[in-house]
Structure formats: C-alpha cells, structure tokens
Amino acid sequence: MAAIYQAVYRRASSLFCRFHSTYVKKMRYLNTLKEDDDFCRQAQTSGTFYLFHNLSPFLQKVGKKYLLPQLSAAEMKRILEKLKETEQWMEKSVLIGCSDEHVPHFALDLGALEKSVIESELQGSFTDLRKALFVVDVKDSPLLASAQALLQWHESHQYCSKTGQPTQKNLAGSKRVCHASGITYYPQMSPVVITLVSDGSRCLLTRQSSFPQGMYTALSGFCDLGESVEEALRREVAEEVGLEVESFQYSASQHWPFPSSCLMIACHALVGGQQTEISMNSLELEEARWFGLEEVLEGLKRDHTSSKQDDGSFLPWFPPKQAIAHKLINEWVKQQTSRPT
C-alpha cells in the first residue's frame, strides 16, 4: 500500500513541479507526510534522524565546533539493534522538516534507552538544550528548538484532558487523537511580546535574578487571553517599568522553546521624552535602566565569558545572535547610527 501511495505522489508531483516553486513543493510534501501515515512510514526508511535523550539533543564536537549529526535510517537500525530494540522505535519519532530534495527529517527521543551506550557508539554527547542552542551553528538552532518543543509537547499530552484516556499520535507527530472522545489535539505555542523600549536616544534593558550575571535584555511577557499584541505590549511596559508607550513597530518573530514553546513577537516601542523615569516592578525584575548608544555598542562586543571583572563584578552583555532580543538591539543601533548628525 505504501508503494502505491509513493507512486501516486510521484505522479502528482511531476505535474505539480512544472508550476510551483521549490518552497511550495516542499510545503505540500510535508503536508502529505503529516496527513498520510502510510506515506510517512515509507518516508522514514529514507529519512534522517536527530537524536534526543530526555529532551537533550545529541551533539558531536569536532575541533572547536559542535555539530548536530543527522543519522540515516540504516544507522538508526544499527543503533537500535545494538541496544536490542526493534526498528519500531523509529515510529516514535516526529517529523520536523525536510530538505529541498524532499529528504524528510525526524527527531527521536531515546530517553528510555541507555544513554552511555548511544554516546559511546556515536562518539558524542547529549547536551542540555540551553547550552546546545548557543554552541551549534546558527542555522541549526531553530531546527533544534522546534524539534525539542514538539517532543516535549508529545511527552506532556499523552492523555486526554476530558476523558483521561491515552491519546495516540499520528506517525508524523503533527497531532494526537483521543479515540474515546474524538478530540484531536494539535501542538500549540504561547504568544509572547518582546519589546525594546526607546526614548529616542536611549534604549531600556532589564534583567531578572534568574539571568546569567551581567546579562540584560528587552522586556518580554505573555499575552493574556483575549489580548491583542498591541494591548499586551502596552500593558507589559506599564506593569514592569511604569512607562506609557506612545507608538510601536513590529520587527520579527521567532519560536523559542523556553519556558515551554513560545512565539516571540518582537517590537520596538517609543515612549515620550517627558516621561522616562523608570518605576520598576521588583517582583518581576532585578534591574531596569536606560542604555546609551556607546554602552550598547560595548555590550554587544562581550559575552558571558568576557564580562567578568577582576573584582568579581560583571559588565553588561546582551543575548547572543540566536535570540531575537539580539536582533532588536542591533536594529536599534543601526537606527541610531544612521541618523543625520
């Protein structure tokens, strides 16, 4: 049956290819994998796999670089045989994307199996996601984050909230179904507004007590139920630093896996020049202050290793380039430096 589906898909694709871009064809292919379990099962035999262990991704260190290895289906079978497991384990994987050539990518968590055996066999290590995101190549970070988020969602949605009965994932992992109630559950993200506030010549950066020492970032907060992005942005700025936003501009968005699969909606906000005195909410923040252009430029040159001083104090530094806060800060710098003098 799977072979028939594959043949039908190839035939349809030959017509489709004449009229659509690579991106459209890729999205249609992924959608077919999500909707058709037989087709997805067949695709697993030619796909590549990213490994996790209790939600920690597997990395290999080559020189000073950390790589995110892709294992072929044959390599996966060999590892599973080594662990005396059947290849049915591969059906526990989730689809996380595909190449332009339609090689599907899957993520698989082997948390129930012996970690040391896998690490020894593949010559690498399972690494906490908070570290892994910032040591792998920038292009690999989004894939890593989305893979872990999807695996975590499946781990926490194994039972129906209405009946308490087990839910079953489709083969691609794009949904879970409770057959007792007929409810279908889909992975979701929580919207978070992250805002770089400016008074025109300075930007406002904050830190929480849980942050690494010396690190400052833009204000952020979850959207309340029923709020628009605009309403959430104005409320968060008012709640956390006691300022009223006059205007704002959307910048970009980013999926972020912490604390639990968020959609970061990044914006720039402007407050009036006559109303810049910060009234910090100490229940939310440890510190909030204005930064001038020169101080921001210096902070962008530092990281957590270079900010520590001889007396044990820390100079300000900002989130690395994998985080959307870094993009906001860089955009503000470009705006300031492009102004006519």
Residue 333 has pLDDT above 60, yes or no: yes
Residue 325 has pLDDT above 70, yes or no: yes
Task: Please choose, from the candidates 49, 87, 54, 92, the residue with its C-alpha nearest in 3D space to the C-alpha of residue 69.
Answer: 49
> In this predicted structure, what is the pLDDT of residue 11?
54
Mean pLDDT score, 286-295 = 97
Cα-Cα-Cα-Cα dihedral of 75, 81, 87, 91, to 10°? -70
How far is Cα 90 from Cα 50, in angstroms, rounded to an integer? 11
Beta bridge partners of 58: 126
> In this predicted structure, what is the pLDDT of residue 64?
87
What's the whole-model pTM score? 0.87
- Confirm if 204 and 219 have CB atoms less than 8 A apart: yes
Find the angle CA(249)-CA(251)-CA(257) to the nearest 5 degrees. 130
> In this predicted structure, what is the pLDDT of residue 330?
97
Amino acid (one-letter) located at 336: Q
> In this predicted structure, what is the pLDDT of residue 246?
96
Cα end-to-end distance, the chain, whole Å = 70
Class of CATH domain 22-156? alpha beta
> In this predicted structure, what is the pLDDT of residue 129?
93
pLDDT band at 7 (very low <50, low <70, confident <90, very high): low
pLDDT band at 15 (very low <50, low <70, confident <90, very high): very low
| Residue % of the chain over a pLDDT of 70 | 94
**Domain limits, the chain:** 22-156, 190-338
Class of CATH domain 190-338? alpha beta
Mean pLDDT score, 53-69 = 94
User: pLDDT by residue (tens digit) across 176-224?
Assistant: 999 999 999 999 999 999 999 999 999 999 999 999 999 999 999 999 9
Minimum mean pLDDT among 86-90, 106-110, 317-321: which range? 86-90
User: pLDDT by residue (tens digit) across 221-236?
Assistant: 999 999 999 999 999 9
Please determine whether the domains at 22-156 and 190-338 fall in the same fold group of CATH: yes
If one compares 38 and 272, the residue with the highest pLDDT of the two is: 38
| Mean pLDDT over the full length of the chain | 92
Mean pLDDT score, 118-139 = 92
> In this predicted structure, what is the pLDDT of residue 230?
97
Task: Please choose, from the candidates 50, 114, 54, 99, the residue with its C-alpha nearest in 3D space to the C-alpha of residue 76.
Answer: 50
pLDDT band at 303 (very low <50, low <70, confident <90, very high): confident
Residue 14 has pLDDT above 60, yes or no: no
Residue 17 has pLDDT above 90, yes or no: no
Task: Please choose, from the candidates 103, 98, 71, 77, the residue with its C-alpha nearest in 3D space to the C-alpha of residue 89.
Answer: 77
Residue 16 has pLDDT above 50, yes or no: no
